[in-house]
Structure 1
Amino acid sequence: MKAVSVKEIRQELNELSNKELQDICLRLSRFKKENKELLTYLLFESHNEAGYIESVKKYIDEEFDIINRDSYYYIRKSMRKILRNTKKYVRYSQNKETEVELLLYFCKKLKDFKPSINRSTQLQNMYNRQFQLAKKQLSTLHNDLQYDFNKIIEDLNN
């Protein structure tokens, strides 16, 4: 089965009743965990972006606490998982400020991580890529927000 374009989906959704739309959303939520997570964000958390950011930060903290530190292989694997989920949560929000804040928070946690990431080239590269991405997204934000985030960036550079 070939998927239709977004334009065609939008036209079809405009023709449906509220009850039919509700049934479609509930049916979508049964298929993939990500669909359910996105619906949860849109219905319950999108109106409180600060609370959403705090909940994602709490998730990052919890995941960093349970990382297996026996070898850099396990550390890299866990870091990739944390980053993948963080980026998924950023996609749900589609807010550049949220993206910058969460990426900088991830970079801060990664830099403060023990054992040091300086012994692993892959972890250093991961840190550098996310740091550069956060700086790139920062340039699209309002000047007041740029000033606040630049303080965090300066702290990470030291």
Structure 2
Amino acid sequence: MNISSYGLQHIKKEIQHLPNEQLTELLLRLARYKKENKELLAYLLFEAHDETAFIEKVKAEAGFMFSQLPALSYHAAKGMRKILRLLSKYTKFTGSKGAEIELLLNFCDNYLEYADRRTSYKPIRLILTRQVEKTRTLISKLHEDLQFDYAEGYNNLIEEAEKKLGWFKKNDYLL
């Protein structure tokens, strides 16, 4: 049995011809099958109109998760990866590069506040360096005006990281 998959344009054309009742049924059926679909639909219906409030909620949730990290390095790294998965899911929902940069900067700030600075556990160190590099790449892809807005917060983060972490070298990451 071979089920053909249709392209997005074909699906869009077909959806435009459906009555509202049938469209509602399709959306509810789609939301039933995957938790992420349901979460995305809930975001689009209830949260998308106020993106800044949504970002603040996500930051608060990530901050709480950071405060609950275990002391053991292995488990702390697992907890940080879980936070990153959550942040990447929410940035997919918003579809905004600015929101993604804000959440990554907040993640790095929380890392500096809650992570064990004395650890020599390499995966924990790599988590921060990857997120800093990802943030730098995202900022460099923005329009010049937006780059300037985020560059100050990014450079402050880099300065703070070098002060708090002996292994972090800011010259490797400055914009």
Normalised to the residue count of structure 2, the TM-score between the two structures is: 0.83
Structure 1 Cα separation of the partners of residues 22 and 51 of structure 2:
29
Alignment identity in percent?
A: 36
Amino acid at match of 1:62: F
- Alpha-carbon shift at residue 147 of structure 1 (Å): 2.2
Q: Runs in 1 of length 4+ with deviation above 4 angstroms?
A: none
Which residue does the alignment assign to 1:14?
16
Which residue does the alignment assign to 2:93?
92
Structure 1 Cα separation of the partners of residues 77 and 117 of structure 2:
12
Which residue does the alignment assign to 1:138?
139
Contact kept in structure 2, 1:107 and 1:131, CA below 8 Å = yes
Residue deviations 1:90-142, cap 9 Å, x none? Answer: 00101010011001111111122241275221122111111111111112334
Structure 2 Cα separation of the partners of residues 121 and 25 of structure 1:
44
Residue deviations 1:42-79, cap 9 Å, x none? Answer: 1111111100110110110111121121x111001101
Which residue does the alignment assign to 1:25?
27
> Where does 1:1-158 land on structure 2 (aligned, <5 Å)?
1-69=3-71, 71-116=72-117, 119-158=120-159
Change (3 A) 1:31 1:117: farther
- How many residue pairs get aligned? The number is 157
Of 118-127 and 30-39, deviating more is 118-127
Structure 1 Cα separation of the partners of residues 156 and 29 of structure 2:
46
Alignment root-mean-square deviation, CA: 1.6
Structure 1 Cα separation of the partners of residues 8 and 137 of structure 2:
29
Structure 2 Cα separation of the partners of residues 21 and 118 of structure 1:
53
- Alpha-carbon shift at residue 6 of structure 1 (Å): 1.4
Structure 1 Cα separation of the partners of residues 28 and 8 of structure 2:
20
Structure 2 Cα separation of the partners of residues 114 and 86 of structure 1:
17
Structure 1 Cα separation of the partners of residues 111 and 119 of structure 2:
10
SS, match of residue 50 in structure 1:
helix
* Structure 1 gaps, min length 5: none
Structure 2 Cα separation of the partners of residues 114 and 107 of structure 1:
10
Normalised to the residue count of structure 1, the TM-score between the two structures is: 0.91
* Structure 2 gaps, min length 5: 160-175
Which residue does the alignment assign to 2:172?
none
- Alpha-carbon shift at residue 81 of structure 1 (Å): 0.4
